[in-house]
Amino acid sequence: MDCSGLDFMKISKALSALHKEMEKEENNEKVLAKLEEAEKELQKALYFSLDANAPFRNSVL
């Protein structure tokens, strides 16, 4: 998974803003569930990217 071109902060802020707007407008529950799933996947991708960029973490311990 090549995440080098992704700006995780921008993606995270956009998802968060959209989530807040959707809650405020009391939109469809399915859409909110999908948005929450997308936020979780973003977190996984971020952690994966951090781990991939720091392969020495496990070897130092």
DSSP character string of 6-58: --HHHHHHHHHHHHHHHHHHT--HHHHHHHHHHHHHHHHHHHHHHHHH-THHH
Sign of CA dihedral 32, 33, 39, 41: negative
Q: What is the mean pLDDT of residues 40-51?
A: 80
User: Which residue, chain included where needed, has tokens 């998802």?
Assistant: 15
Q: What is the mean pLDDT of the chain?
A: 72
Q: What is the pTM of this model?
A: 0.51
Q: What is the mean pLDDT of residues 30-53?
A: 79
